[in-house]
């Protein structure tokens, strides 16, 4: 037996069953086959790490999970919720992107035999010093929920182009998006339900976090998404919406404002501190996570545009 499987069998999933975090988690239906759990508002160490969403698709014969939450214990709590609905096997976990709050629960599903699916490009992050540093940091800031037994699980299957998975009577349209919010994003459209799992391409009710992505590509993608006919959109953070265009517009408006303001500053050779202080952030400053992420977001965009201007 490979070493990784021996470790998983020893630590997942039942080892967390008697010490799950005491945070509210509800499996909310949004269509005939689709459900989701909504993480709380906050930063990575808040709410025992439960700050992101995960999706569940129940077909005639199996269960497919979208994202795995930010700790093995949260993933085990999600498994318990799924078991209140069905005892069908969990066969796949589709990962929208490899940010920590979406993937540290993967080992629980891997131990159950699920196939891990993600977009081409995430493997570079999985092998990177940044990934090792992030896991080390979370073992401190999210202890005991992330600890020495927590593993970063690599995907079993990589999606390189638009791919349709047929599962019973359900079609899952997997669309990879290189370098938007992260190094490699993946959206999942579920038919005939008309549900889009957008991951962190779309945020609801809070500011998005900008890190390794490409804001120009992200804006172009969001502009297209505003015109696509979804019935329900489930973001990576925040509440699901039956007004998908409105949710997409929320994220688009913020990113566009950042882009235009920082582009103007770079063009005028205005230092970042001056540009930030002179910007009117009134439209966004009352939103959750503004104090935590807005200045960093603006700086990331400023640096990217500055580097492009130098090239």
Mean pLDDT of 180-188: 92
Using pLDDT thresholds of 50, 70 and 90, give the confidence band for residue 12.
very low
Q: Domain-by-domain residue ranges, the chain?
A: 3-253
For 120, phi and psi rounded to 5 degrees?
Answer: -55, 130
Is 45 within 8 Å of 142 (Cβ atoms)? Answer: yes
What is the Cα–Cα distance from 207 to 175, expressed in whole angstroms?
24
Is 240 within 8 Å of 36 (Cβ atoms)? Answer: yes
Residue 8 pLDDT exceeds 90: no
Mean pLDDT of 168-187: 93
Query: Which long-range contacts (C-beta less than 8 Å, at least 24 apart) are formed by 219-224?
Result: 219/252, 219/255, 219/256, 219/259, 221/177, 221/180, 222/248, 222/251, 222/252, 222/255, 223/252
pTM exceeds 0.75 for this model? yes
What is the Cα–Cα distance from 127 to 275, expressed in whole angstroms?
36
For domain 3-253, the CATH class is alpha beta
Is 206 within 8 Å of 289 (Cβ atoms)? Answer: yes
Residue 13 pLDDT exceeds 80: no
Mean pLDDT of 2-19: 47
Q: Dump pLDDT digits (tens) for 258-268.
A: 999 999 999 99
Q: For the chain, first and last CA: distance in Å?
A: 51
The pLDDT value given to residue 311 = 55
Using pLDDT thresholds of 50, 70 and 90, give the confidence band for residue 4.
very low
Residue 18 pLDDT exceeds 90: no
Cα dihedral 105, 108, 110, 114 sign? negative
């Amino acid at each position: 037996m490979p070493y990784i499987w021996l470790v998983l069998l020893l630590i997942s999933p039942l080892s967390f069953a008697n010490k799950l975090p005491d945070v509210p988690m509800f499996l909310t239906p949004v269509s005939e086959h689709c459900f989701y759990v909504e993480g709380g508002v906050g930063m990575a160490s808040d709410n025992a790490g439960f700050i992101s969403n995960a999706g569940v698709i129940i077909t005639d014969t199996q269960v497919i999970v979208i994202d795995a939450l930010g700790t093995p214990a949260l993933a085990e709590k999600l498994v318990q919720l799924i078991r209140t609905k069905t005892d069908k096997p969990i066969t796949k976990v589709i990962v929208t992107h490899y940010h920590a709050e979406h993937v540290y629960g993967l080992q629980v599903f891997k131990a159950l035999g699920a196939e891990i699916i993600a977009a081409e490009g995430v493997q570079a992050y999985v092998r990177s010093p940044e990934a090792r540093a992030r896991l080390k940091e979370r073992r401190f800031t999210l202890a005991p929920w992330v600890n020495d037994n927590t593993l970063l699980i690599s995907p079993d299957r990589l999606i390189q182009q638009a791919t349709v998975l047929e599962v019973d009577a359900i079609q899952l349209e997997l669309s990879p998006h290189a370098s938007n919010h992260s190094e490699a994003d993946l959206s999942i459209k579920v038919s005939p339900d008309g549900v889009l799992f957008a991951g962190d391409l779309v945020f609801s009710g809070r500011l998005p976090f900008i890190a390794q992505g490409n804001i120009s590509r992200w804006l172009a993608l969001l502009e297209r998404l505003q015109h696509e006919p979804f019935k329900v959109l489930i973001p990576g953070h925040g509440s699901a919406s039956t007004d998908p265009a409105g949710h997409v517009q929320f994220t688009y408006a913020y990113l566009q404002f950042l882009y235009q303001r920082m582009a103007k500053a770079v063009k005028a050779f205005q230092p970042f501190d001056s540009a930030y202080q002179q910007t009117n952030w009134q439209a966004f400053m009352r939103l959750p996570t503004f104090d935590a992420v807005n200045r960093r977001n603006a700086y990331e965009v400023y640096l990217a545009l500055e580097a492009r201007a130098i090239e």
